Amino acid sequence: MNDLFAIATGIMFALGVFQLLRRDMIKVSMGFYILFTGINFFLLAVGVFDGNQPAYVAPKDDGQAPVYLNDAGELTGRILDEDTGEVAQPSDPLVQALILTAIVISFGSYALLLGMINILSRRFSTIDSDKMDNLKA
């Protein structure tokens, strides 16, 4: 699975950079979005953690939490299977939070970029970056 993430991330970065080097401003914006998606894949790939339980901690053993705090305030694992004695391993919530934040930031940046392209296309009556001149004012 790690190889699949690495290949997908590499392809997304390559396609994004290829589209960024185009003259058409719409294709450039698509390149930015593909690059943002590649960054999210990268964050997901480097933060993959093979946890077998959800990422939360209960204040006490409620029978459902993967881990809980004991009386001393230390993290304690619950037993998953009584036959094997395997202790629950929670997933890392930081990766999920970083990807959610990156998605929101990339969406805002993409909306701003599309707004700027809209203004430029109305001002110069073209979306070809080579035909846009007199950008001073």
pLDDT digits (tens, 9 = 90+) for 108-128: 999 999 999 999 889 888 888
Q: How far is it, in rounded angstroms, from Cα 75 to Cα 89?
A: 11
- Counting the structural domains of the chain, the total is 2
Average pLDDT, the chain: 80
Q: Are residues 68 and 2 in the same domain?
A: no
Q: pTM score, two decimals?
A: 0.68
Q: Are residues 55 and 69 in the same domain?
A: yes
Residue 106: give its domain's CATH number.
1.10.287.3510
Residue 82: which domain range? Answer: 50-91
pLDDT computed for residue 41 by the predictor: 86
Which tokens go with 102? 């990156």
pLDDT computed for residue 84 by the predictor: 62
Strands of 14-136, DSSP E: 57-58, 67-69, 75-77, 79-81, 86-87
Using alpha carbons only, give the angle 85, 58, 56 rounded to the nearest 5 degrees. 85
Q: How far is it, in rounded angstroms, from Cα 120 to Cα 101?
A: 29
- Measure Cα distances from 90 to 2, 48, 93, 112 in Å: 20, 12, 9, 38
The residues near 128 (Cβ < 8 Å, ≥ 6 apart) are: 23, 24, 25
pLDDT digits (tens, 9 = 90+) for 4-46: 888 989 999 999 999 999 989 999 999 999 999 998 888 887 7
Q: Mean pLDDT across the stretch 93-102?
A: 86
pLDDT computed for residue 60 by the predictor: 63
Q: Are residues 84 and 105 in the same domain?
A: no
Which tokens go with 76? 């304690």
Q: How far is it, in rounded angstroms, from Cα 102 to Cα 108?
A: 10
Q: Are residues 75 and 55 in the same domain?
A: yes
In a 13 Å sphere around the CA of 66, the CA atoms on its Cβ side amount to 13
